[in-house]
Structure 1
C-alpha cells in the first residue's frame, strides 16, 4: 500500500518511498506448460482450439491469481513456449524460459534460465542433455544421457547459467517416486538445491517426510533441500490448483535470485498451503534535509535491513537520527551523550528528518513523523493533517533502537533488563499498571489529608489545653454569682456570632449551586436524532436523549430556584442583622450601667466577659475536633482499603514477572535463563529514609550504618519496617537490622509521613541473565551469570532477549562490537532469520555474518562523498553490485576471502 500523506511526489518522503527496497515475495508458477505440450501429451481438456486463445486465457488466469512469475517447461523443448512467453511478458509477468529434462534414470528435472535467454540456444542445450545434436524433435520424450549430478553441473555451470528443480519428486518420474528405479544418489546431488512437492510438507507420506526433513541416513544431505510447489499447469483452469504455485522472495528476478532463495528456503519460500505472517509495525521510509545527510532517501524492507560501508559513511548517523525522530528513550547515560552529539553534528540547526511508519493492527494505518533540529516531533496522518499527539501516542510502542555499545551498557543495569522483561507480561499487566498508578495517587492524597488532619487536631489539642484552666477561673466567678448577673450580656455575645455562622452554613449550598450550573449542560454527543438516524433502533434509542433533557430541565430549574432561595436567604439574614443591631446597642447601654455598678464593687466584669467568650470559642473548636477525629477515622479506613488493593497489585506484578521470566527462559531454548529479584535495587528506600532522618537533624555520618543495613538486608518487608517505625519498636529494629540502640532510635524517629511513604513505596525488581556458554548442540548446559561473562557474552544474552517475540522494529548499531563472533553465527543469526518474518530489523554492521547468513532482504551500501552521505548501491545478495560490495567491504575482497578459505582449509 502506497501512502502520499497529502504531499506532492517531489516531497522528500514521497521520493524515499519510491526507492527500491530489496526482496519481495512473488507468486511463482514454475512448471507452466504451453499449448503444444497439452496437444502432444493428451492434456488438451482445456477446450481451446488455437494457441492464441490458449495464451490469452492463460495470461488472464495468471493475472487474476496474482501470479507474477512463471517458468515455461515443455519436455525437452523451449521453442514451443515462445508465444506464451511473449503474451505473459506483454502483460507484465516475468518469464523464466526453460524446459523439462530427464536424467539417465528417468527422473524429471526443471531447467530454468534467466529471463530474455534466447530460446533457440535453449533448444540446443536440451538436445545436448538428451544426447543428440540440435533441438530435440517433437514427440521425443525419452530419457536423457546424464546422471543427476552431471545434468545439474551442466545446467548450473558458469557456461549455461541456469538453475535446476527436481520435478514432482513424489509422483511419476520423480526422484522419490516408488514406481520407478529408486536411488538415493539423485536426491543427494550436492548442487541440486530445490525439489517440487505436490502440496504441504506435512502432507508427505511418513517415509518421504523423513527424507525431506533430512531424517533418513541413506538420503541425508549436507544442505537441507528447498521444497517448492511447482506442479504441472496444463491450462488456465489449473493456475489456481493446489500445489501449482509458491511465493518466493526475490530482489532480482534472475536465476541468481532463485539460487539465493533455494539456499535459504525457510525465510524465502512460502508454499501454497502456507499463509503469510500477520503484519507488523514497520518503518516504510525516511528522508533527510539539511546537514551532512541532506538529500539522503531510504525505503526500508519490511524484514531484515542491513547498512554497510566503511567507517564514517553514516551508518550510526542514520540510526541515531531515526531515534531522534521518534523521540525514543535512551537508557544508558553514555549512549545518551553519544546520541546527542551525533544528532547535533549530523542534522545541525534546521536539519530535518521525515519518517513514514505503518501499523497493521487493528487496521492498516500510516503516519508521517517529522522532526527539525532542535524542535519537537510532529505527527501527520495519511491525509497530511498535523495531529496534536506525540509519536508514542499513535504508534503505542516505539521502535527499539540501540546505538554502539549500548547493549553492553544495558547489560550492566538490572532494572533496565526488568523493563525489557516487562515487554512479555500478559495483556492484563497494562491495565494493572494504570490501576496501580491511580492507587498511588489516591494513597498520596490520603497521606496528605491525614497529615493535614493530624496537624489540625494537634493545633486544636494545643488550644484546648487552656480549657480546664478557663473552666476553673469561671468557677471562681460563679461563686461571686457574676455569671448570673452578666448572663444577659453573654447571651447577646452569642447572638452576635450567629450571623457569621449562618453565612458559613450557606457556603456549601453556594458550591452545590455552582456544580448544578455546570451539570445542567449535559453532553448529547452521539444521542441526538441526527446521530441516531442510521441505526436500526433509532426511534427507541431516542428515549436516551429525551431522558437526559428531562434531567437537564430539572437541574436547570433546581439551580434557578436554589439561586433565588440563596438570594432571599442572604437578604433575610441581612435584614435580621440590621434589625438586631439597634437592639444590641440598647442592650449595651444597659450593660454599661451594670458594669459601672460592678466596678464600684471592685469586680472586673470585663475579664469575665472575655473569659466567657474564650470558653465559648474553645467549645466550638472542641466540636470541630470531634468532626476531625471522625474524618481521620474515615480517611484511615479508606487508606487501609486502598492499601490492600495496592499490595494486591504489587503482589500480582511480582508473581507475573517470575512467571514471565520462566516462560521467556523456555522460549530462549536453553541458551539464556532469566531470574527476577524483587525489591532491589533499594535506592528509593535509602533516599526516603536518608531525607527523613536528615529532616529530623539526625546528622550526616551518624546514620550511614542504618542506610547500609537497609541496603544489604537479604529479605526486607517495607510494611514491617513502616509499622515498626510507627510504633517505635526499637527492639524489633535492632534485631531485624543489626542496629545499636541509638541507631534503632534514629530509624524509628523518621516520622509519620515517612512511615506512610514507606508503605506506598514501589521498589523496582531487578533481572539477571545467565548464559549457556556451552557449544551449540552440546549435551550439558554450562550456565554463567552476567557478572561472570565477558562484555561480548553479556551483550549476547541481552540481545537474545531483545530478539524475542516483539512486533516493533528493532535497530542496532554495530552489534558485533559487543558480541562474540561465534555467538553471532550460532545464536543470533538463526534467531534473526526466524524472527524477520514477523518483525522489521535494521542493523548497521561490519560483520558479514549478519547480512550473508541472515539472508538480508535489503542491503544498503553507504558512501561519504563531497561532505555528504549517500547511498552507493542497494538490494539483496543476488544483486550483482550488492554482492560485490559485500565481498569488498565485509569480506575484505575476493582475494582476502580466498586466502582465508585456503588458510582454514575450507
Structure 2
C-alpha cells in the first residue's frame, strides 16, 4: 500500500452540472474540457449533480478521465422536493465513486415519462422523505439547499411553529447543508444549530452550469482522502470542512515551514555489517496535523518515534527507549542504519542511528517519552512542578520575560524592588521591637518589686541619714562680737557661698557636656545615614541604568537628589568646641578652670578656719557638716530623672502603674502598622505571581466546558510556611504559659493557626494578636487567663529576634496552588499528574515545534482519555504538528487523527520493519485500527453487542 500522508485539505465541489442538465448553458461541452478545467482549479473531488437525471455513460467517462489526474468523480443527482413555500426546496443525492451506477439509477426510478407527467423538468418534483430514504439505502448522502441559496430550506418560514417543526423534521433525512454564501456560516452556527439536535457540515459549491465560466464564491475545502469514505467523515467531524481562501493549517505550514516535518526516511547504509534488515528504504510523508502511530507491542512504534526525536536533536539518553545502549545501539547495531528528516522548507538532516545530539544542538521537536512522563509523575513533586513551570513560562511573551530563562528567575526579577522595600521596613520594625521588649520587661512583677524594694531601702536610708542631722551650733557672730574672729567668719561664709555657686556651675557644665555628647551621637548617626542613603541611591542608579536601556530617559530625569552634610559638620564642630571649653573649665590643672577656682577657695577656707577661735571653729565645722548632711539628703531624695533616688523610684513606679501600658499599646499599634506595610508589599508580590500565572487562568476560562469533569483551579495567595518550627525555636515549652509542654504548646499554636486566614491583613493581625495575647495570658484550661511575663517564655536574649520573626512575616510566602477538583498537586495520582501535565503541554505550551508523545494514555482510564485528553489533543493539533504513539482507539479515532501509521516487525525476515500509513477513512488503515486497537472486528462487534444489550436492558 502507498504510504499516504493521510487526510489532507483538498478543494472539492459537491454541486456540479454537466450538459446532461436540462438548463446547462452549452451542450457542446466535452468531458475532457470539464476535467481540464477542474484540474486547472485544483479540484480533487466533484459530485455530478444534474437535474433529475444521472447520465451514466458520461459519469463513467468522467471517472476514467478524472482517475488519470487524481480527480474523484462522485455520481449524484439534484432533485426538486415537494417541500417549501413559493419556491420548492432542492436537495442532492451523492453516491460512492465505486457504486453500481446502473443499479443506483434504476432504484431512483425517475423516468422521462415521470418527468413529462409532472409538467417536464420545470415542474417535476419528488416526495422528500421517501426519496431521501432510497438515497441512504443506496449508500448515498443527502445535501439540501440552505441559507441564502436559491430553493433553500429557508423558504419555509420559521414564523409559524408548525413550519418550524417541519424544518426540524427534515433534518433527520439530510446529511449536509449546502449554503449560498459565506455569511450563512455564522448565521447557522449562532442561530440554527443551537436549536437542532445535531450539527451538520456546511458546504459552499459552484452549482456550475457552464464549465467555460467556472467560478466559486469561496473554495470548499475538505480534509479527507478524495473518496466517498473520506466524504462520509465530515458527517461526524464537521470541522473537516472549511469554506474560505485557505485553511489555517495550510497557512501555518506555509508561514512556518521550519516547524513542520514533511518526510522521514530510514534505511540501511550501503556497507552495513549486520544481516538484520530492520529499516529498508522506509519513506513516510508526515501529515502536518495529528499523526498516530499504532502497532502491537514490540512492533516498532516507539522505535519510529525515537528516530523522529533523534532527527529533531532531542538531548538526553534517558528520553529514548529504543535507541539506547541496552537495545538498538548494542553491539553497534544502530551504526548500520541512517535516517533523514526533511522539513517543509526543503532543508533536511541525515543522521546515523547511533548519533547522540550534543548539548549545543537546538531541539527542533518536543519529545515526551513514556518513561519521562512516568518519572515526572511518580518521583519528586519538585521535578513535576519544574516541568509545569517550564510550560507556563513558555506562554509568557518574549517581550515580557526581561531576559530571563525561567519563571522563578522572572519572579525574582520582578520582585527585587519590593523585597528591597521589605528589608528597609524591617529596620524600622527592629527599632520598634527593641523598644517594646524594653518596655515589656518593665511590666514584670520582678522589676516592679525590685523598684519598690529599692524605694523602701532609699526611704530607710533617708530616715537613717535624717537621724544623723548635726547638732546645731550658734553663730558666735550673733553675740555682737566685733573682733577679728567675726570678720574671718564672715569671710568664710562668703567663700562657702562662692563654693556653692561654683559647684552649681560645675553641675551645669557637666549636664551641658552630657547633652552635647547625646547630640553629637545623633549627628554622627545622621552622617552615617546620609552616607547610607547616598550608597543606596547610587545602587538604584546602577539598577535603573539597566532598566532604562533602550529608552531616551536618564535616571537623573526621574530621580535627582542633593545632599549637604556641611550644616551637620558645622554643628558637630561647634559642639566639640563647646565641649572643649567645658573640659577646660573642669580641668583641675587649668588656671581659670572652675575646679581650680574651687580648689583655691577650699584652700582659702581651710586657711581662714585655722585663724578662728574655738567657738567660731565649732560653728564653721557645724556649717560644713550640715551642708554635707543636706547634700546627702538631697542626693537620696533626688529628682525624677536621677537614677538611684527616692523621687526617681517613685516616678518609675507611678509611670509603670499609670503610663507604661498606654505606651506599650501605642508601640504595639505602631508595630502592627509596620507589619501591615510588609503584608501589603507581600500582596503586591502575589499580584506578580497572578500576572505571570495568568496563562493558567486564561486557559481555565477558555476550556471551562471541557474541564467540567476535570476542574483545574489556580489559587495564588500568601501561605504560611515553616511557622511552627520557627516559632518554637524562640518560645520555650518549659515556662509557664499557653505554650507550656511540647504537645500542649504545639496543639495550642495549631489551634490559633486554624482560626486565622492569612489572605487578608485582618486575618494576619488576628494571628499576631493571638500569639502575643497567648504569651501575655495563660489560656490553658482552669488557669483563668492568668497573666504571664512574655520575656520569661522566650529563650534568653531572643526577645527582639522573636518579635522580628513574628512581625516581619517571612513565614508568609506568595505561593500558587494548582488544584485538580479539591486536591492539591501533591495529592494527585500519577495518572492525574500525567493528564494535567499533558493538558498543559497540549494547550499552554507556546512552542510551535512538533510535539512527540509516547503512549500518553498510560495510567489513565478510557473515560479520562475520552473526556480529557481527546478534546485537548484536538485543540493542540490546530497549532502544532503532533505525533503520538498510542494503544488507545480514543486517541487515534475520536481525536480524528489525520494520519495513522501502522508499524509491524517481521521477526522471521531479519526483523524487517513494515510500515503502512494513511487516513482513518482508508479501508486498509481502518482494518489495522480495528485489529490493533480494538482487538479484531469480531471482538469489537462482540463488545458492541454486549454494550447494546446492557443499554437496551
What's the TM-score once normalised by structure 2's chain length?
0.53
- Cα drift, residue 322 of structure 1: 3.1
The aligned counterpart of 1:770 is: 820
Q: 2: CA distance between counterparts of 1:420 and 1:65?
A: 43
Structure 1 counterpart SS, 2:934: coil
Q: Do the aligned partners of residues 153 and 304 (structure 1) sit closer, same or farther apart at CA in structure 2, a change above 3 Å counting?
A: farther
Of the three residues 89, 92, 101, the one matched with 2:79 is: 101
- Cα drift, residue 851 of structure 1: 1.2
> 2:837 aligned with 1:798, yes or no?
yes
Structure 2 counterpart SS, 1:21: coil
The aligned counterpart of 2:105 is: 126
The aligned counterpart of 1:305 is: 291
The aligned counterpart of 1:707 is: none
The aligned counterpart of 1:669 is: 704
Structure 2 counterpart SS, 1:345: coil
Structure 2 counterpart SS, 1:432: coil
Of the three residues 267, 271, 280, the one matched with 2:243 is: 271
Q: 2: CA distance between counterparts of 1:639 and 1:145?
A: 89
- Cα drift, residue 312 of structure 1: 1.0
Where do 1:686-725 residues align within 5 Å?
Answer: none
* Contact in 1 for aligned 2:6/2:917 (Cα 8 Å): yes
> 2:264 aligned with 1:286, yes or no?
yes
- Cα drift, residue 247 of structure 1: 0.5
The aligned counterpart of 2:613 is: none
Structure 1 gaps, min length 5: 1-15, 379-388, 442-630, 687-711, 716-734, 748-758, 772-782
> 2:328 aligned with 1:346, yes or no?
yes
Of the three residues 216, 224, 229, the one matched with 1:250 is: 224
Structure 2 counterpart SS, 1:823: helix
Of the three residues 155, 161, 177, the one matched with 1:177 is: 155
Structure 2 gaps, min length 5: 254-258, 269-275, 414-530, 548-680, 726-752, 759-789, 803-809
The aligned counterpart of 1:73 is: 49
Structure 1 counterpart SS, 2:101: helix
> 2:874 aligned with 1:833, yes or no?
yes
* Contact in 2 for aligned 1:104/1:143 (Cα 8 Å): no
Q: Do the aligned partners of residues 86 and 293 (structure 1) sit closer, same or farther apart at CA in structure 2, a change above 3 Å counting?
A: closer
Q: Do the aligned partners of residues 60 and 132 (structure 1) sit closer, same or farther apart at CA in structure 2, a change above 3 Å counting?
A: closer
- Cα drift, residue 345 of structure 1: 1.0
Which segment is superposed worse, 299-308 or 64-73? Answer: 64-73
- Cα drift, residue 801 of structure 1: 1.4
- Cα drift, residue 900 of structure 1: 2.0
Which segment is superposed worse, 96-105 or 415-424? Answer: 96-105
The aligned counterpart of 2:354 is: 373
* Contact in 2 for aligned 1:282/1:302 (Cα 8 Å): yes
* Contact in 1 for aligned 2:291/2:897 (Cα 8 Å): yes
> 2:207 aligned with 1:232, yes or no?
yes
Q: 2: CA distance between counterparts of 1:51 and 1:65?
A: 17
Q: 2: CA distance between counterparts of 1:163 and 1:263?
A: 13
Where do 1:739-750 residues align within 5 Å?
Answer: none
Of the three residues 924, 940, 944, the one matched with 1:881 is: 924
The aligned counterpart of 1:890 is: 933
* Contact in 1 for aligned 2:817/2:824 (Cα 8 Å): no
- Cα drift, residue 269 of structure 1: 0.8
The aligned counterpart of 2:374 is: 405
* Contact in 2 for aligned 1:309/1:315 (Cα 8 Å): yes
Computing the radius of gyration from Cα coordinates, the structure with the larger value is: 2
Q: 2: CA distance between counterparts of 1:197 and 1:402?
A: 46
**Aligned-residue CA RMSD in angstroms?**
5.5
Q: 2: CA distance between counterparts of 1:658 and 1:853?
A: 31
- Cα drift, residue 74 of structure 1: 0.8
Q: 2: CA distance between counterparts of 1:372 and 1:632?
A: 63
Q: 1: CA distance between counterparts of 2:719 and 2:831?
A: 25
* Contact in 2 for aligned 1:415/1:766 (Cα 8 Å): no
Where do 1:835-874 residues align within 5 Å?
Answer: 835-866=876-907, 867-868=910-911, 870-874=913-917
* 1:415-469 deviation line (CA, Å, top 9, x unaligned): 221111112112323443179989999xxxxxxxxxxxxxxxxxxxxxxxxxxxx
* Contact in 2 for aligned 1:811/1:843 (Cα 8 Å): yes
Q: 2: CA distance between counterparts of 1:681 and 1:356?
A: 52
- Cα drift, residue 324 of structure 1: 3.7
Where do 1:447-458 residues align within 5 Å?
Answer: none
Structure 2 counterpart SS, 1:800: helix
* Contact in 2 for aligned 1:127/1:136 (Cα 8 Å): no
* Contact in 2 for aligned 1:292/1:347 (Cα 8 Å): no
- Cα drift, residue 838 of structure 1: 2.5
* 1:678-732 deviation line (CA, Å, top 9, x unaligned): 999999xx9xxxxxxxxxxxxxxxxxxxxxxxxx9x99xxxxxxxxxxxxxxxxx
Structure 2 counterpart SS, 1:405: helix
- Cα drift, residue 258 of structure 1: 0.7
The aligned counterpart of 1:383 is: none
- Cα drift, residue 764 of structure 1: 12
Structure 1 counterpart SS, 2:921: coil
- Cα drift, residue 651 of structure 1: 9.3
* Contact in 2 for aligned 1:328/1:400 (Cα 8 Å): no
- Cα drift, residue 232 of structure 1: 0.9
Where do 1:501-512 residues align within 5 Å?
Answer: none
Q: 2: CA distance between counterparts of 1:143 and 1:791?
A: 68
* Contact in 2 for aligned 1:681/1:766 (Cα 8 Å): no
* 1:102-160 deviation line (CA, Å, top 9, x unaligned): 4554643322333365xxx5355334324559998899537889754543443344xx4
* 1:20-59 deviation line (CA, Å, top 9, x unaligned): 211111101111111342xx32x52xxx57223x852x44
> 2:304 aligned with 1:318, yes or no?
yes
> 2:213 aligned with 1:260, yes or no?
no
The aligned counterpart of 2:694 is: 659
Where do 1:336-735 residues align within 5 Å?
Answer: 336=318, 339=321, 342=324, 344-348=326-330, 349=332, 350-351=334-335, 354-356=339-341, 358=343, 364=345, 366-368=347-349, 370=351, 372-376=353-357, 390-392=361-363, 395=364, 398=366, 403=371, 405=374, 408-409=377-378, 412=381, 413-433=384-404, 641=541, 654=689, 656-669=691-704, 671=707, 672-675=711-714
* Contact in 1 for aligned 2:303/2:322 (Cα 8 Å): no
Q: 2: CA distance between counterparts of 1:904 and 1:374?
A: 50
Which segment is superposed worse, 142-151 or 853-862? Answer: 142-151
* 1:831-880 deviation line (CA, Å, top 9, x unaligned): 32233232211111111111111111111111121252623432122111
> 2:61 aligned with 1:26, yes or no?
no
* Contact in 2 for aligned 1:293/1:347 (Cα 8 Å): no
* 1:286-343 deviation line (CA, Å, top 9, x unaligned): 233468853344332111111111111122222234334434366xxxx937748756
- Cα drift, residue 823 of structure 1: 2.2
Structure 2 counterpart SS, 1:898: helix
* 1:477-515 deviation line (CA, Å, top 9, x unaligned): xxxxxxxxxxxxxxxxxxxxxxxxxxxxxxxxxxxxxxx
The aligned counterpart of 2:193 is: 213
Structure 2 counterpart SS, 1:433: coil
Q: 2: CA distance between counterparts of 1:440 and 1:203?
A: 49
Q: 1: CA distance between counterparts of 2:172 and 2:32?
A: 37
Q: 1: CA distance between counterparts of 2:719 and 2:75?
A: 67
The aligned counterpart of 1:623 is: none
- Cα drift, residue 794 of structure 1: 2.9
Q: 1: CA distance between counterparts of 2:395 and 2:179?
A: 38
* 1:193-229 deviation line (CA, Å, top 9, x unaligned): 222111226457x5x66664142xxxx33x4211111
Q: Do the aligned partners of residues 809 and 227 (structure 1) sit closer, same or farther apart at CA in structure 2, a change above 3 Å counting?
A: same
Q: 1: CA distance between counterparts of 2:283 and 2:815?
A: 42
